[in-house]
Amino acid sequence: MNLILLGPPGSGKGTQAGILSTRTGWNDLGTGDLLRRLVREGNEKALLAKSYMEKGELVPDTLMVELLFAESGDLGDGLILDGFPRTLNQADTLTQRMRARNLTLDAVLLIDVSDQEVERRLLQRSACSTCGKIFNQKLVVCPACGAQIETRTDDNAETIRKRLQVYHQQTDPLVTYYQQQGLLRRICGEGTIDEISRRIRQALGIA
């Protein structure tokens, strides 16, 4: 099965993609995580993306697509795309790439969370800049790798508002795009992680 997780920043796409991937063995491809890892590794192209990320803007489509496909190789079956596509251009590119490889997109799950809840969640989370793990509370030391925790540079009130504005302007149109293809399923993204996980499995018809 190949699917896309769509939703605003802080809607829990990364967390849910990780849980689903562990359960099913499908490959979790999160573009935010991918970009942050490449920046940490000093990848030259990713360093071009860094300034957009810090401002809460989208990385330009051409650069994003180049980084994604250079890193992930070609798309294979059993894929959870988390954070890609985020523009109509990216969605068209994905459709073409999948078609060329005879891959089918089975579902697009929209994780619905209000802007107010997004702001609340993002202001209280911590991200480890060493191992990349994200935690839903303010921490000083990373429980996963022991490194000192720094707040993500884009998790501040001003950048969060910008990211939400960008989401509504550039990513919202994908809802209609995938609705018209009969692929969109809405998931209420508020509640516990387990509740949301269960809703996702129900929507996909898996145990």
Give the binding site for ligand AMP (CB under 6 A): 9, 31-32, 35, 52-53, 56-59, 64, 83-86, 90, 154, 163
Spot the catalytic one: 13, 36, 121, 199. 13
Longest CA span, the chain = 46
- Helix ranges (H only) for 25-60 are 31-40, 44-55
13 catalytically annotated: yes
**Smallest distance, Å, CB 19 to ligand AMP?**
16
CB 9 within 8 A of CB 122: yes
185 catalytically annotated: no
**Smallest distance, Å, CB 85 to ligand AMP?**
6
138 catalytically annotated: no
Q: What is the DSSP letter of 147?
A: P
**Smallest distance, Å, CB 154 to ligand AMP?**
6
Whose Cβ is closer to ligand AMP: residue 102's or residue 108's? 108
Whose Cβ is closer to ligand AMP: residue 165's or residue 206's? 165
Whose Cβ is closer to ligand AMP: residue 172's or residue 202's? 172
**Smallest distance, Å, CB 201 to ligand AMP?**
22
Cβ neighbours of 59 (radius 10 Å): 23
125 catalytically annotated: yes
Minimal CB distance to ligand AMP: which residue?
32
Whose Cβ is closer to ligand AMP: residue 26's or residue 85's? 85
> Which residues have a catalytic role annotated?
13, 86, 125, 152, 163
